[in-house]
Amino acid sequence: MRVSTLGFQTEATQQMQTLDAEISQTQSDLSTGISLQNAADNPAAMSEVNNLDAQISASQQYQTNGTTLNSNLEIEEQSLSDATTTMQSARDLAVQSNDASLTSAQRQNIATQLSSLLSQLVSTANSTDTDGNYVFGGETNTSIPFSQNGSSVSYNGSNSVSQVQISPNQRVSSSDSGASVFMNIPGGNGTFTTAVGASNTGTASIDTGTVTDAADWVPDTYTITFTDPTDYTVTNTAGTTVASGTYTSPGTIAFDGISTTISGTPAAGDTFTVAPAGTASAFSTISNLITTLNNPDATSAQISSEVGTTLEQMDAAVSNFSNVSASVGARINSITAANTTATASQTAMTTQVTNLQDTDYAAATTQLSTEELALQAAQESYASIAKLSLFNYLQS
Amino acid sequence: MADLLNTSVTGLLAFQNALNVTSNNVANASTPGYSVESPNFTAEPGESTGVGYYGTGVDVSTVTRSYSELLAGQMRTSQSSYSNFNTYATTASQVDDMLSDTTTGLNAQLQTFSNSLQTLADSPTTTASGTAVISAAQSLAQSVQSYSSQLSQTEQNVEGQIGSNVQQINTLATTIANLNTQIATGGSTNNTLLDQRDEAIDTLSQYVSVNTATDSSGSMDVFIGNGQSLVSGDTAQTLTTIPSEYNPTENDVALTTAGSATPLDITSSISGGSLGGLLSVRSQVINPTINSLGQISVGIASVVNQQQAAGLTQSGTAGQPLFAVGAPQVSPSTSNTGSATVSATVSDVSSLTADNYVLANNGGTWQLTDQSTDQSVAMGGTGTAADPFTAAGVSIVVNGTANSGDTFLVQPTAAAAAGFSVQLTSGKQIASASAVQSAAATTNTGTGTIAAATVTDPTNANLMASTSIVFSSPTTYQINGTGTTYTYTPGSAITANGWTTSISGTPATGDSFTVSSNVGNTSDNTNLFAMIDGLSSNSLDGGTTSLTGAASSLISQVGSQTQQAQSNASAQQAVNTSATDAVNNLSGVNLDEEAANMVKYQQAYQACAQLITASTTMFNTLISAVSTTA
């Protein structure tokens, strides 16, 4: 087979250039540490790397979200704890005040202490979080949510709360609205409230009552009227008599699935009301008691009934704080769990990216020595072969 | 006369010529396209004598070159293929390089933007977080615009290269025609001219695929691409570049024909070689990438802007569009004769594609064809402003009168990326809150709960008006107290005034729910989550592709095309090397062979010279024998 001189040289040069190019590529892989430099190197791997990088970035963002939220939730938990302590102190005072032997001045003293606890509760309800926003303001948390006017406290915040995303598929509430924590606490015993008629002259008091059969309860305001100290009728707002009977102290009056106990001696014309439980705010629970204790004309019976209702409502408030606190605790746990999962998955994804993208130094170094050897061999062989020519040996 | 002297002299002259040929070969050992020449020795005719025929010496009758048209043809074919793939791969890898950056690429920027929305959602009233969203949006826009301008630059480079390739082809064509003339008029055995012509055709094969045909006079006709005649005898056609039918910045290849002012567009017949590669990479990589990038930009802008409109900013006003994006382009054909103008707007983002479309008037009826697949596309509507044509995600309006045969190129997304920019400057302009809120009345006694209301039509005039849903019974309700009584199904949608919500559970008679304005709830982040969810939802391709999915897909598509072209180029290079070797092995000069020939002819020359000396000696002997010594 015939080989042309020019052809031999061209081909040898081309081969050396190819080896040069390969060495250059390997060197680039080694010095940058990345072997997947272009999508052309491995389109499917590049696509996966992009995808993983995006997930890692999103995961880190969720962790940041969770950290901020965690601090805020811990502040909320602390506030709820403070509110519970305040409410329990108030409860102790309420129990104290249910003493028929107290003088008017002593009752007013208790009322003053309750006032200061009320202000403390308002202050707790207006706490702020790490961003300077109000913890219990709902979605209008840049303006102060609770305002106190004398002994009445109103809520100016919103009833909705926003959410924070702590993991790819979890969004949790960022706080609780003041309405759900402090304002809309179920009143009375949860179904109905009882009250002593304001103009009663007798000494009878009424307890908070119980529900015997919820299905039979017809929500309405009922009036228990004593026609004389031993006979009563129960009428609803339409004027219909739903029950009647005789009374001895203590006596249970039952109708429409509920029962309540009256003790003491009612006078003729005395009334007691049974009304559907609305919601009561934690504040009005305290301020109602303050009003009653400050009234010099309040009778022991009225005070006793008021305290009964107050204690029930205070317990309901503390129970509500406790429920909210439990949900806050659960959210804090979710954040911790999401954080752990995120850290683990980020590690896994980063490893995957490294596998797809990074240079395998051991393999690349070996490849480099192989290519260098090939290039050296090509260069040396070319140098020795190119010198050979018959012309060298022809003597004239 | 057959005698010693004359015969030896013929030998001398013959070997002298042979040495000339050898020295020519050696001198041209490195000349590209040179075919090794060999002298053909022919014995002189014998002379008849009484005792038989005596030979009268030798003559170098011709000098032939070693050349194979077949091998040359194979080399040209592989040369064109290699050049084609190589050019394609080089240009495609520029686009691939641009898209392949994982740290600042499109996917990374989209994620950063989404992250900035998340941070704002953590505390919508924090000014710094709002500013960060605008910054991230601007980064995203800059990234898209940078891609767009780089693609534009690459496109311009390609156009420039097309122009210079065409010029090279023209120069070579002229050279070949000239050589044809010289060869036909008596130079048919002129090896130098033949080599030059073959060399010119070899070079031509780098630019475009060639086929040749030799005619009886020795002229070689050259055909390029899919059989387009370039050189015919002594006439060379001239190629030129003309602006393409729809886009004056794009060059098509055309043939100037004598006697016609309009060049003939032959772009579709060009294939192979670097020119073929450039035309392919333009239509298969650059233009589709521009369109796909545009499609993604329209997707981003549409999702974000729609959500802006559905929400409220910190100051309680409706959000304004955050992104601007380039509008669809419609270009009339340069050969249109009617007076119609056509415009298009995006009407359905999820139906957009990365293709261009041709709108043609055929005898009064308008038809739409996909330019890359040549498939016809059904259109809805009639083309008027009140009832536009709808197809492929755009609405097309035709004004004026078109003549039959008029065509327009509709490019829905080609200009989108170049025009992708951020229109808002303050973080406070981000519509973080939902426009409406829903609530159950605190006096409700049933167990009904109402879901968050979502805005479906921000333009509804009563969107922010307070609307009540009151239950007249546990299974029926009225909206705003009067009118229709609706039957309640838990969980099913309730729509009014541009919003939609749903109620679940068991409401009691008299329970009421309100949907009202959300102004004032400055920390509401519902709209931000809607934006975040929209960005990750499948908003493109009929609900099958997400924005990041489309970006990823674009990157792998270009990557695959580049990888394939590179591997094809590599394979073709091997084929080309082998074909070139075959040609070289036949036609190339081997110095060792020439050295051996030189020795051979030298010895033969010396031998002939010796014979002449012998003849002289014999003549001297004879003369001295017959001269008298008196």
Query: Tokens for B574?
Result: 């091997």
Nearest to A39 among B118, B558, B591 (CB): B558
Contacts of A11 in chain B (CB under 8 A): 577, 581
Type of residue found at B288: P
Q: Indicate yes or no: CB of A62 within 8 angstroms of CB of B586.
A: no
The Cα–Cα gap between B422 and B141 comes to 7
In this model, does residue B1 exceed pLDDT 50? no
Residue B472, helix vs strand vs coil: strand
**Which residue of chain B is at minimal alpha-carbon distance from A395?**
B599
| Residue with the two structure tokens 């013959």 | B14
Per-residue pLDDT tens over the stretch B134-166: 999 999 999 999 999 999 999 999 999 999 999
CA distances from B552 to A45, B136, B337, B545 (A): 11, 20, 43, 10
Which among A39, A163, A357 has the least Cβ separation from residue B96?
Answer: A39
Chain A, residues 51-110, CB within 8 A of chain B, namely 51, 53-54, 57-58, 61-62, 64-65, 68-69
B185-207 burial, b if ≥16 CB within 10 A, otherwise e? eebeeebebbbbbbbbbbbbbbb
Between CA B71 and CA B376 the distance in angstroms is 45
The predicted structure's pLDDT at residue B274: 95
Q: What is the pLDDT of residue A370?
A: 95
Asked if B100's CB is within 8 angstroms of A3's CB, the reply is no
Instruction: Measure the N-to-C terminal CA separation of chain B; round to a whole number of Å.
Output: 34
- For the four alpha carbons of B5, B11, B15 and B16, in that order, the dihedral sign comes to positive
Please list every residue in chain A whose beta carbon sits closer than 8 Å to the beta carbon of residue B28.
Answer: none
Q: What band does B481 get if pLDDT is binned at 50, 70 and 90?
A: confident
Interface of B with A in 38-97 (CB under 8 A): 92-93, 96-97
- Give me the DSSP letters along A7-21: HHHHHHHHHHHHHHH
- Could you tell me the CA-to-CA distances from B345 to B295, B389, B416 in Å, in that order? 13, 11, 11
Between the alpha carbon of residue A130 and those of residues A51, A191, B314, B462, the distances in Å are: 34, 39, 20, 38
Write down the pLDDT at residue A396: 61
pLDDT of residue B104: 83
Per-residue pLDDT tens for A101-148?
Answer: 888 888 899 999 999 999 999 999 999 988 888 999 988 888 899 999
Name the pLDDT band for B2 (thresholds 50, 70, 90): low
The set of residues, in sequence order, having a beta carbon less than 8 Å from that of B624 and lying 6+ positions away, is none
- Joined together, the tokens standing for residue B16 give 């002298």
Task: Tell me the two tokens of residue B477.
Answer: 């309700």
Using CA atoms, how far apart are residues A282 and A329, in angstroms rounded to an integer?
A: 22
Assess whether pLDDT exceeds 70 at residue A188.
no
The 3-state DSSP class for residue B469 equals: strand
Residue A178 burial (C-beta neighbours within 10 Å; 0-12, 13-18, 19+)? buried
Beta bridge partners of B551: none
Verify whether the Cβ–Cβ distance A61 to B119 is below 8 Å: yes
How far, in Å, CA of B175 to CA of B381, rounded?
Answer: 57
Question: Hey, are the CB atoms on A11 and B123 less than 8 Å from each other?
Answer: no
Q: List, in order, residues 6 or more apart from B616 with CB less than 8 Å away.
A: none
Output phi, psi for A246, to 5 deg. -105, 160
- Given a contact cutoff of 8 angstroms between Cβ atoms, the answer to whether A4 and B587 are in contact is yes
Instruction: Write out the two tokens for B87.
Output: 């050019």
| The predicted structure's pLDDT at residue A266 | 87
| pLDDT attached to residue B601 | 94
Report d(CA B396, CA B382) in Å as an integer: 9
Q: Which whole number is the average pLDDT over B78-88?
A: 96
Give pLDDT tens digits for B189-240.
Answer: 888 999 999 999 999 999 999 999 998 888 999 999 888 899 998 899 999 9
Do A109 and A293 form a contact (C-beta atoms < 8 A)? no
How many C-beta atoms surround the C-beta of residue A328 within 10 A? 22
Report CA dihedral (A294, A300, A303, A307) to the nearest 10 degrees.
Answer: 130
Interface test with A, best of B122, B445, B514 (most A CBs within 10 A): B122
Instruction: State the first-to-last Cα distance of chain A, in angstroms, to the nearest integer.
Output: 29
SS3 at position B2: coil
Q: Residue B418 in contact with residue B425, Cβ under 8 Å?
A: no
Which of A5, A15, A25, A175 is the best residue to mutate to test the B interface, defined by the most B CB atoms within 10 Å of its own CB? A5
Please identify among residues 289-348 of chain A the ones whose CB lies closer than 8 Å to any CB of chain B: none
pLDDT tens digits along B500-543: 999 988 888 888 999 999 888 888 999 999 999 999 999 999 89
CB contact under 8 A, B559 and A46: yes
Beta bridge partners of A158: none
Distance (Å) of CA A164 to CA A73, B122, B247, B380, B518: 12, 6, 50, 44, 19
Q: What is the DSSP string of A36-75?
A: --SGGG-HHHHHHHHHHHHHHHHHHHHHHHHHHHHHHHHH
Torsion of CA B566, B253, B410, B423, to 10 degrees: 70
Which are the contacts of B152, defined by CB distance < 8 A and separation ≥ 6?
Answer: B290, B418
Q: Stretch A276-302: mean pLDDT, rounded? A: 85
| pLDDT given for residue B145 in this prediction | 95
Q: What is the pLDDT of residues B89-100, one digit of tens each?
A: 999 999 999 999
DSSP string, A266-310: PPTT-EEEEEE--EE-HHHHHHHHHHHHH-TT--HHHHHHHHHHH
Report the pLDDT averaged over residues B426-441: 92
Asked if the Cβ–Cβ distance from A62 to B112 is below 8 Å, we say: no
Residue A15 has pLDDT above 60, yes or no: yes
Give the length of chain A.
396
Q: How far apart are CA A251 and CA B139, in angstroms?
A: 78
Name residues 344-373 of chain A within 8 A of B (Cβ): 357
Residues 539-558 of B with CB under 8 A from A: 548, 551-553, 555-558
B108 contact A CB<8A: yes
Section A321-349 average pLDDT: 95
| Structure token pair of residue B315 | 């100051």
pLDDT score of B428 more than 90 = yes
Residue A139 DSSP symbol: G
Residue A210 — φ and ψ, nearest 5°?
Answer: -135, 160
Q: What is the per-residue pLDDT across A206-241, written as a single tens digit (0 to 9) for each?
A: 888 888 887 788 778 889 898 888 888 999 888 888
Phi/psi at A273 (5° precision)? -110, 140
Report d(CA B514, CA B520) in Å as an integer.
Answer: 16
- Over range B50-60, report the average pLDDT: 88
* pLDDT tens digits, one per residue of B311-323: 999 998 999 999 9
Three-class SS state of B338: coil
The answer to whether the Cβ–Cβ distance between A39 and B589 falls below 8 Å is: no
Q: For all residues of chain A together, what is the average pLDDT? A: 89
Q: What is the average per-residue pLDDT within A361-370?
A: 94
Question: CA B586 to CA B36: how far, in whole Å?
Answer: 8
- State the nearest Cα–Cα gap between B73 and chain A, in angstroms: 18
- Amino acid identity of residue A212, one-letter, is T
Calpha distance A228→B374 (Å, rounded)? 101
pTM of structure: 0.87
Query: Can you spell out the DSSP letters for B389-443?
Result: EEETTEEEEEES---TT-EEEEESSTTTTTT-EE----GGGS--EESEEEEE-TT
Instruction: Enter the tokens of residue B174.
Output: 């002229």
Q: State how far Cα B364 lies from the chain centre.
A: 34
Bigger pLDDT: B446 or A165? A165
- B488 three-class SS: coil
Measured in residues, chain B has a length of 630
To the nearest whole number, what is the mean pLDDT of chain B?
91
> Is A128 at the interface with chain B, CB within 8 A?
no
| Whether the predicted pLDDT of B280 surpasses 70 | yes
Strands, E assignment, chain A? 146-149, 152-155, 163-167, 170-173, 185-186, 192-196, 205-206, 210-211, 222-228, 231-235, 241-246, 251-255, 258-263, 271-276, 279-280
> pLDDT digit string (tens) for B363-410?
888 999 999 899 999 999 888 889 999 999 999 999 998 899 999 999
Rounded to two decimals, the ipTM of the complex is 0.84
